[in-house]
Amino acid sequence: MSTSKTPQSPAAVSAAGLRKSYGDKTVLDGIDLRIPAGSVFALLGPNGAGKTTAVNILSTLITADAGELHVGGHDLATDPQAVRAAIGVTGQFSAVDGLITGEENMLLMADLHHLSRREGRRTAAELLERFDLTDAAKKPAATYSGGMKRRLDIAMTLVGSPRIIFLDEPTTGLDPRSRHTMWQVIRALVSDGVTVLLTTQYLEEADQLADRIAVLHDGVIAAEGTAEELKRLIPGGHIRLRFSDPSAYRSAARALREAVAGGTPVRPPGSAPADEALVLRIPSDGTPRELRSLLDWLDSAGIEADELTVHTPDLDDVFFALTGGTGTDQPSEEAGR
Ligand SMILES: Nc1ncnc2c1ncn2[C@@H]1O[C@H](COP(=O)(O)OP(=O)(O)OP(=O)(O)O)[C@@H](O)[C@H]1O
């Protein structure tokens, strides 16, 4: 994940007041987006949220009803041709032709981009190698696994060396190993300075890859920010202090009850090992300011914990809170983040 790119970097993609309706159904109801150049931006939303519609509009496949839209510095309304030249798009429906080989698919793209025969062959070979498809290059693409087809699809997108890439649900339907390979592919693109807008239904994917995440719900952006910022939006964050000495734990718990408004010392369930049980939880949004004041207080009260960890709600919690779901099947993992 690129952390050096701030929202102050020039925008590779921007939208202000993006609207789209089909008949009386409003799909996008005034979306604002700003994607700094060289960053990964994830548009996260449940089925039917309008993710593909947004990507299709920004990649000039369909037109918006309203909105100021710029991609690669070009105005979509007045210069769609220049936008098309600046971007690469890999959609949910693959551009791969199964009847011809991987290499032939690549050469076809090279032709479309008017590369010379020689340059086309060189680019195709280089990309097939980069995406670990050299061994399969001479086989019909229909014989490829789902992961291989996705990699070929992205390799084809890269033939024209786009600086901005739209990836619509790049890992939907892939097994975990192929998904991780695809994440590596996307990270490598970003380390080359490419800007990526990806849509996903997977919270973990957005968490893993994206510098910033927008949660799309009911035609509007329900929240936008880094994964950490989004996690801080909903309650449930806390700071955990773990003690190995029972008397230190007891005196800390006593001091905490007296001193911290809302502080709730909590013992985890009885099955936890004895040394795990000596834990105090203090509700907190995990901001540096809160952390600093807690550390100051611990110091002044002479309390020494063996371990301090900050726990924020995970992205699942945020997603369900924002999109009105009821929760996940899986218990939310309590990892220190
Ligand atoms: N051409 C169309 N005509 C009418 N309605 C459409 C059209 N295209 C999309 N829609 C509707 O717009 C809404 C958003 O669709 P879209 O494909 O953008 O969602 P999505 O977030 O990409 O969902 P998914 O994750 O299922 O791909 C859906 O309710 C869909 O039925």
Give residue-wise pLDDT tens across range 234-292.
776 778 889 988 888 888 888 877 765 444 444 333 333 444 578 888 877 778 888 89
Q: How far is the CA of 49 from the centre of ligand 1 (A)?
A: 7
105, two tokens: 């698919």
CA of residue 166 relative to chain centroid, distance: 13
Give the position, in ligand 1's atom list, of the atom nearest the Cα of 172.
25
Segment 65-86, tens digit of pLDDT: 999 999 999 999 999 999 999 9
Same fold, 11-96+144-232 and 238-311: no
Which residue, by CA, sits nearest to atom 3 of ligand 1?
Answer: 22
CB atoms inside a 10 Å sphere around CB 143: 12
Q: What angle do CA 120, 125, 126 make, to 5 degrees?
A: 100
From the CA of 297, how far away is ligand 1's center (Å)?
Answer: 52
Cα gap 271→265, rounded to integer Å: 18
User: Which range is most confident: 22-36, 182-196, 306-320?
Assistant: 22-36
Q: What is the CATH number of domain 11-96+144-232?
A: 3.40.50.300
- Give the type of residue at 258: E
47 pocket-lining for ligand 1 (C-beta < 6 Å): yes
CA of 128 to the centre of ligand 1 (A): 33
Angle at 11 between CA 17 and CA 314, to 5 degrees: 80
Where in the chain are the domains? Answer: 11-96+144-232, 238-311
Count of CA atoms in the C-beta half-sphere (13 A) of 234: 18
pLDDT (mean) for 175-180? 86
Query: Which band of pLDDT confidence, cut at 50, 70 and 90, is reported for residue 7?
Result: low
Residue 330 has pLDDT above 50, yes or no: no
- More confident site: 46 or 23: 23
> For residue 163, how far is the Cα from the chain centroid?
19
Q: Tell me how far the alpha carbon of residue 203 lies from the centroid of ligand 1, in angstroms.
A: 20
Question: Are residues 259 and 332 in contact, defined by beta-carbon separation less than 8 angstroms?
Answer: no
According to the model, what pLDDT value does residue 202 have? 84
CA distance 230 to 135: 42
Strands laid side by side in the 66-71 sheet? 25-36, 11-22, 66-71, 74-75
Mean pLDDT within 177-195: 88
pLDDT of residue 56: 93
**Is 238-311 a CATH 3.30.70 domain?**
yes
pTM of the model: 0.73
Buried b (16+ CB within 10 A) or exposed e, 116-133: eeeebeebbeebbeebeb
Cβ distance 69 to 15 under 8 Å?
Answer: yes
Answer whether 3 contacts ligand 1 (Cβ < 6 A).
no
